[in-house]
Chains A and B, each alone.
Chain A
Amino acid sequence: MATTTSRRAAYEQKRKRRSIAVATVSSLIVVAAIVLLVPKMPRWDRVRHSFFNGERFWDSMPRLLHAFVLDVKIFAWCAPLILILAMLVAMARNSRSSALFPLRALTIAYTDIMRGVPVILWIYLIGFGVPGLGMDRPWNSPLIWGSVALVLTYASYVAEVFRAGIESVHESQRAAARSLGLSNWQTMRFVVIPQAVRRVVPPLMNDLVSLQKDVALVSLIGPIEILRQAGIDKSKFANFTPFIGAAVIFLCITIPLTRTTDYLVERERRRTTGTRVR
């Protein structure tokens, strides 16, 4: 049996070869169409000059990277705060004690209001409004209040993700934990939340990638981060290529981030489960 392939293996191999062939040919046709047709457009030369200018690209790259450090910083302090706040909101909303009703009502109002208004509007309102109260440095910094706006809006989205995860853990898991003498809080901490978080990692990553991009919105109230720097370079040289540079830098961060999570999720799944349905 070792030398001859089984009927099933032969069939699967044939099917696999066919799908690879179909995928290759169709991809080549699409790429060829873009490469051949776009340059035929009447103003392609001007677009190439103002968007895909190699010299401008490399010239602005160091400044863009330098400005991008601020984006990374904003992301780095916002992301953990968002996760913590969102988890607290989700837990408050899932609490069962009737004494916590006011807290539940408050969290519902919070998510409704924060999610119902565009992020950009919150950044303007909080970023310009709060410093207007006349606090001393550094508390009048638009950087701080822009970040606060990001944290408050994103936490409301992420809280809903966590809530969905918590509600997806079956009641019988809580019963088992309580029957072992675990308190309500211990049941959440050791049994419910670990399972909930594992289940929502993909949508969670979705929100974090989205945050990584929306950090650029803070530039609208002042701080010079990558998007604003690209805008400055654009005006200085009357060329749009710096925006392409900024896009490339964003992709360099977001793509590996997504792939790494996919890998981690898959590894966890393989570690804890048995055979998989094909």
Chain B
Amino acid sequence: MSNIKLSLRGLSKSYGNNTVLQNITLDIAEGSVVTLIGPSGSGKSTLLRCLNLLEPIDDGAIFLDDIDISVPGLDANPIRRRIGMVFQNFNLFPHMSVMENIILSPTRTLGIDKSIARAKAIELLERFGLGDKAHSYPDQLSGGQQQRVAIVRALAIEPEVLLLDEITSSLDPELVGEVLDVVRELKAAGMTLVLATHEMGFARDTSDVVCVLDGGHIIEQGPPSQVFTAPQSERAQQFLQSIINSGRL
């Protein structure tokens, strides 16, 4: 058994009276791919935002390498540099070129020399087929290219865990493949990945662990072979049946 990188213990979160996450307990092993699936509004995105400390949690704890990172009042910035995040709508900075987007955090928060950060950015861009886009602006790129730039930007701070929040959901169908290829490559390179997705085929083929969320609970958790073929809970069965019926698996 490999090391546990990220451990969630009884995590709960609510907005006023609306409970969005309830007693989430989950261990994420180093180098594994954990996929969150479930209907819209089931809490997948909120869970990822909590892991990135963008949202404070109400109860429970999050451990990164056995250190509690959910302590109230903790300086979140150094932790966020260890846990990268990519968003559904790319969220690139439109006033900066691709290169400036990528080197912003390395140069400003890690104090890396500009020329070194640039060289590394070029290396990453070439690795993901974007070598000629360094001087373009986000609005001049296709959705797939923008999302790959967003991934490169997150990778540039060398995170230990990468959170991917429905990163193909706002892409045209023909552009989804190029972004999923990037995710497969990251998995092959041994990156720890936590992703929320609606791409069921991809979830089945790429994940080590699949979690089905519904109403803020994890209602099913296990290897994809088990979750997709023999789900235990009735609601997970219903959810998977609806996916199969709509032809998405």
Contact = CB atoms under 8 A, between A and B. Distances in A.
Contacts of B105: 180-182
A186 B94 contact: no
B94 A181 contact: no
A191 interface: yes
Interface in B37-73: 49, 52, 54
A179 B52 contact: yes
A186 B109 contact: yes
B129 to A, nearest CB: 20
Contact of B80 (A173, A179, A190): A179
The main secondary structure of chain A at its interface with chain B is helix
A180 B54 contact: no
A172 B91 contact: yes
B109 A175 contact: no
A271 B94 CA distance: 11
Nearest to B48: A179
B81 A176 contact: no
A102 to B, nearest CB: 22
Given A180-B105, A186-B108, A273-B139, A175 B95 contact: no
A274 B139 contact: yes
A222 B62 CA distance: 67
Contacts of A48: none
A13 interface: no
A49 interface: no
A181 B91 contact: no
A176 B108 contact: no
A239 B224 CA distance: 92
B95 A272 contact: yes
Interface residues of B, number: 28
Nearest to A191: B93
B219 interface: no
Interface in A182-241: 182-183, 186, 190-191, 194-195, 198
B157 A181 contact: yes
Contact of B91 (A176, A182, A272, A274): A176
B104 A182 contact: yes
Contacts of A191: 93
Interface in B60-100: 76-78, 80-81, 84-85, 87, 89, 91-95
B128 interface: no
Contacts of B87: 172, 175-176, 179
B77 A272 contact: no
Which 4 pairs, one residue from A and one from B, show the smallest C-beta to C-beta distance?
A: A176-B91, A181-B81, A180-B105, A179-B85
Interface of A: 172-173, 175-183, 186, 190-191, 194-195, 198, 271-274
17 contacts: A175-B49, A175-B87, A176-B91, A178-B54, A178-B80, A179-B52, A180-B84, A180-B109, A181-B105, A181-B157, A186-B108, A190-B104, A190-B108, A198-B95, A272-B137, A274-B139, A274-B140
Interface of B: 49, 52, 54, 76-78, 80-81, 84-85, 87, 89, 91-95, 104-105, 108-109, 137, 139-140, 150, 153-154, 157
